[in-house]
Amino acid sequence: MNHLIMKYSRPLTVAMLAIFAWVIYQRASRGWGEVATLAVAALAVWLLGTPLFIVLWPRITVGGFRRAILRRGLGDGPIPVNTLYATRGTSSASLAPGSVLATGTQDLLYLAGWLDLGPEPLLLHVPDLTGRYYSLQFTAPSDGANVAYVGTRATGSGAGDYLLTAPGWTGAVPGGTTHIPAPSRSLLVIGRVFVRDDADLDAAYALAKQIQVEPLR
């Protein structure tokens, strides 16, 4: 959805301004009292609509990611819940039309998944990516905030295990595992793994596929 809005932002803006100008013209032709009524109505809509937009838009956006991931995936079909899927190619041209990750970036492999931590915690395993940039971004669907990062800048590029838990979980964290408590039972995961060039693609993809989650046993 965001991708489409950005792509057609100019014609959409022009169309909305044209409609607004036409409405003002029609009201002004009936007298300036009509314009004043319209201005009061527009102010009321703005005062009420802005807070609603701020509250609801993150939910709508993350909900769109959820539906796209679970229904279409990243080009090779739906991605099951609690599964991380890595794209094989770097170019947006290799992704399905309308993909949530169609950014045009040529030096990154993308990963995506939708996690449900309600039934049980999930253990995230990351292989040794020393010398290679990567990042996993965890987003809460309630407000669209990024609640945690795992990656080169946040946790280093060495191998590691991370325990993802829902609110209220009180179990024991396994030794050598970093605990990431989530603010809600669901999380959107978007990951990126750097690719140096075409010759490096297979090596990067092999590492990206090793970034996976499994139930805590």
Please write the tens of the pLDDT for every residue from 46-65.
Answer: 667 666 656 666 666 777 77
Please give the tally of structural domains in the chain.
1
Residue 24, burial from CB neighbour count under 10 angstroms (0-12, 13-18, 19+): middle
First vs last C-alpha separation in the chain: 37
Instruction: State yes or no: pLDDT of 123 exceeds 90.
Output: yes
Q: Is residue 111 part of a domain?
A: yes
Please write the tens of the pLDDT for every residue from 139-163.
Answer: 988 777 888 999 999 999 899 999 9
Q: Is residue 40 part of a domain?
A: no
Residues 6+ apart with CB under 8 A from 180: 124, 138, 148, 150, 162, 163, 164, 165
Q: Would strands 146-151 and 160-165 be described as parallel, antiparallel, or unpaired?
A: unpaired
Q: Is residue 198 part of a domain?
A: yes
DSSP-derived letter for residue 62 is: H
Q: Is residue 142 part of a domain?
A: yes
pTM of the model: 0.69
Segment 197-216 mean pLDDT: 92
Q: Given pLDDT bands bounded at 50, 70 and 90, which one contains residue 193?
A: very high
Q: Is residue 56 part of a domain?
A: no
Q: Is residue 54 part of a domain?
A: no
Residue 105, burial from CB neighbour count under 10 angstroms (0-12, 13-18, 19+): middle
Question: Strand, helix or coil at 80?
Answer: coil
pLDDT attached to residue 216? 87
Q: Is residue 95 part of a domain?
A: yes
Q: Given pLDDT bands bounded at 50, 70 and 90, which one contains residue 94?
A: very low
Greater pLDDT, 47 or 129: 129
Domain limits at 131?
Answer: 71-215
- Domain of 185: which CATH number? 2.60.40.1610
Q: Is residue 118 part of a domain?
A: yes
